[in-house]
Amino acid sequence: MENKNKRIMKHHISWTIYLEAVMLLLVIYYGYIFVKYYLPDYRSRVAKRPTGQDPADVLPAELMAIEHPASAAFQAEAEYEQQLPFQEAEQTMADSDRLLSQAKQAIDIAAKRPYSPERTIQELKEIAHTFPTLKGSPYLPGIAEVISLKCEETGTATLTEDEVSAWWDDQ
């Protein structure tokens, strides 16, 4: 009968309980090692850290004076909109949205037919000429960029942003 109880006790510990016990012992062991050997170094590093901003998040003084090109474009756009009455500024924005949608549609159609960049450019110029209010608009560089990238992406024509912007000077 004693033999039977010993056999039961051998199988009483499951693998799950065994692995949990080993993991607990490892956590205790490595916690002791950390406290004994690494805690003073960790405390000194934490104490040296500035309480304010992280130095990696602060720009050097040399870079603070440089104006980001995107911010200049936004500033020019805001100044332009302040000069115009509200309805005109809204109309200009609506015109630029309509122009872009028509231009993208024309480029998508041109991508489905045989390669003819002259024809595509002529169609895009005609679309641009239907929106003379955009001449001198701060939206023009963005429009030119979108059109040139869309043409490059679809392989319909090779255009630079300056070429697209010059379409309004041709009027």
In order along its 171 residues, the chain shows pLDDT tens digits of 555 555 555 567 888 999 999 999 999 999 999 999 888 888 887 777 655 555 566 666 666 555 555 566 666 666 666 665 655 667 777 888 888 888 888 888 888 888 888 888 888 888 888 888 777 778 888 888 888 888 888 888 888 888 888 887 766
Per DSSP, which regions of the chain are E strands?
Answer: none
Q: Are residues 83 and 150 in the same domain?
A: yes
Cα angle value 73/74/79 (rounded, 5°): 100
Q: Are residues 88 and 161 in the same domain?
A: yes
- Pseudo-torsion of CA 156, 160, 161, 162, nearest 10°? -130
Determine, yes or no, domain membership for 60.
no
Host domain of residue 24: 2-48
Q: Are residues 41 and 103 in the same domain?
A: no
Is 24 in a helix, a strand, or coil?
Answer: helix
**Cβ contacts of 127 within 8 Å, gap of 6 or more:** 99, 102, 103, 106
Q: What are phi and psi of 139, to 5 degrees?
A: -80, -15
Q: Return the pLDDT at 86.
A: 58
Long-range contacts (CB closer than 8 Å, 24 or more residues apart) made by 87-94: 91/133, 92/133, 92/134, 92/137, 92/139, 93/139
pTM over 0.75: no
Q: Are residues 158 and 89 in the same domain?
A: yes
Q: Are residues 81 and 162 in the same domain?
A: yes
**Cβ contacts of 139 within 8 Å, gap of 6 or more:** 77, 92, 93, 96
Cα separation, 23 vs 25, whole angstroms = 5
Q: Return the pLDDT at 126.
A: 87
Q: Residue 19 burial (CB < 10 Å; 0-12/13-18/19+)?
A: exposed
First to last CA, the chain: 109
* Count of domains forming the chain: 2
Cα separation, 104 vs 98, whole angstroms = 10
Nearest Cα to Cα of residue 166 among 143, 149, 76:
143
